[in-house]
Structures are given as C-alpha cells and as structure tokens.
Amino acid sequence: MSATRYTYLGPEGTFTEAALRTLPEAAARELVPMVSVPATLDAVRNGEAAAALVPIENSVEGGVTTTVDELAKGEPLMIYREVVLPITFALLVRPGTALTDIKTVTGHPVAQPQVRNWLAAHLPDALWESAASNADGARLVQEGRFDAAFAGEFAAATYGLVPLVSEIHDAVNAETRFVLVGRPARPAAPTGADKTSVVIWLGDDHPGALLELLQEFAVRGVNLMRIESRPTGQGIGNYCFSVDAEGHITDRRVGEALMGLKRICPQVRFLGSYPRAGAAPADVRPLRPGTSDEAFMAAADWLARSQDGRF
C-alpha cells in the first residue's frame, strides 16, 4: 500500500480537491485524481492509496448516492474524518465568450439544483448536460464541447478558462460534506464532538420495521443527524438505511444502540466514528437524563449486584 498517496474525485480543479487540500496532512501526500467515486474508493481497497476523499452530502441536493452506495457494498471501508466546504459556483467560459454566446452548459449533476434559478433567469434557453464532475465540465468547455461550465472559480486557470460570472448560488450558505475514507482499523479516540456512521439492513418488511430500528437509538438518547434509504438492488421495496448518529462507538449509549441493531438486523455495517467537522464538545447538545456513560455503568452495576443478591 502506498502510505503517501491520497486519491480524490477528479480531475484537477474539483471541489473535492479543494476540500482535500484543507487537511494538514495533504501537504505531505501525493494527491491523485480519479475518474469516478468507485475508482477513487477502489484505489484504497486494492492498496494503491492509503485514503480517499469523496463527497457524500450536499446541503441543497442531499446525499451523494454514488458514495453512499459504494460505502454500503463491496470490501468494507471506514470513514476517518469529514470536511465541510462552502460551495459557490462560477460560470467558466473560453476567453472572449459573452453571455449571449452561451447555448450549452455543463457541470456535475449535484451542481444543477444549486444553480437552477440562476440559469432560468439568465440563460433560460441554454441546454444543460451533466458531466462526471464540475472540473470535468471545465475540461469539456476547454475542448470546445460546451460553451460554459459551472465549477469552482479556482478551476479556471487549470483549464485556460475565465470566470464570466462569479458567486453563483441559489441557496445562500450552501455546503458540501466530504469524507476521508481508508481501510478498516481502530477508530480514533473520542473527542467529545463525534459522529458515527452505519448502514443498516431490514430483516423483513413488516409494519413498524423502520420504527424498531429508530427505537434502538431513541431509547438510548442517541440523536440521528442523517438517515437515508437506499435500494439494495434485490427488488422493489428492499432497502437499507445509511445513518449518521451523534456520538462515538465507545460511548455506552452508541455502542448499546449498535448492539441492539445487530440483534434485530441481518446486517449492520459500521462505517466509522470520527470528529464532526468544525465542532467542539461545547457544541454538542446536552445528553438526555440517564444516557451518560456513568448512567449506563451504574445500571450495569445495579444489575450485577441484583443478580448476586447484593442490595
């Protein structure tokens, strides 16, 4: 395995690359762009890279389904940290292009909902076609296959383009969340402001099946930060659930919730416990009464004493 190589969703000039370069360790790594999310993660699975950064969630469009699905299947991988990057687009064009010249535009599919209103107001007749990434859209404009691309303004110089319009976004404060993924190992020590990610499969479809899963978290005071259903590929109506929960697997409430899920589900895939981006322990909501590690330990001690006849 190359311990000095990190892969990311490329090509050069993507928001994923920009997010990766915010990590201090990236300065000491060889950063290698890949053509797709599966290729980016497979480089870690087959030992070509130590870690990979991929987008997983957008505040406007929701989950990045390719990443969610790739982490749920295949050889297990684990999330070690997350990066949240503010997202704003520029309309990149070849030098000399005017707004009235633009008949075709491109960008990543997740970008389109974030600029839809701007497009309708300023380029209502332009034809949109999706690209593999925003930076790949810039490359296609460079090659003359499209008139303009929505991408990060920082990508312009890489592809010999110029930003015709900057600071484009339909939703103010739009953000994309990225995760750094590696091979499974012991999670980092808890920080007090952590997140735990899992994928959960339903055993069978019956009334209250999803409620049973959620109750494993709720009765232990574990807050869910994201839950998303994804098809398993085994027919209509068969789903697994990708879940982010507050807390660390070593927290008693989180660990017991995962054990509860393991008892009632045919499969639970642990994706990692890792620090929440930009969060400190002071940012974490107060625990519900009876859900601290001390409360769980006291209850276990009470049960042991009761079993021994020590009241």
235 in Cβ contact with 202 (< 8 Å): no
* Six token digits for residue 219: 């009765």
Q: What is the pLDDT of residue 2?
A: 66
Which region among 88-97, 166-175, 239-248, 263-272 has the lowest average model confidence (pLDDT)? Answer: 166-175
User: Which DSSP state fits 210?
Assistant: H
Q: What is the mean pLDDT of residues 272-281?
A: 91
**Domain extents for the chain?**
89-168, 186-310
- The CATH number of 89-168 is 3.40.190.10
**Residue 52: pLDDT over 60:** yes
Mean predicted confidence (pLDDT) in 48-70: 93
CA distances from 275 to 17, 84, 196 (A): 20, 12, 9
For 34, the token pair is 């890949």
One-letter amino acid identity for 206? H
Tokens of 284: 């974490």
CATH class of the structural domain 186-310:
alpha beta
Please state, in angstroms and as integers, the Cα–Cα distance from residue 164 to each residue in 21, 144, 152, following that order: 25, 16, 12
Residue 126 pLDDT class (50, 70, 90 cuts): very high
If you average pLDDT over residues 248-255, what whole number do you get? 96
Q: What is the largest CA-CA distance in the chain?
A: 86
Cα–Cα distance for residue pair 213/290, rounded to 1 Å: 20
Instruction: For residue 306, give Cα distances in angstroms to 68, 107, 302.
Output: 45, 64, 6
Mean pLDDT, all residues of the chain = 92
What is the mean predicted confidence (pLDDT) over 19-43? Answer: 94
Confidence at residue 267, expressed as pLDDT on a 0 to 100 scale = 94
CB of 288 closer than 8 Å to CB of 221: yes
Residues 6+ apart with CB under 8 A from 162: 92, 93, 94, 95, 156
Name the pTM for this structure.
0.87
Choose the weakest-confidence range: 195-204, 234-243, 247-256.
234-243
pLDDT at 1 over 60: no
Place of tokens 């980016």: 40
Q: What percent of the chain has pLDDT over 70?
A: 99
**What one-letter code names the amino acid at 131?**
A
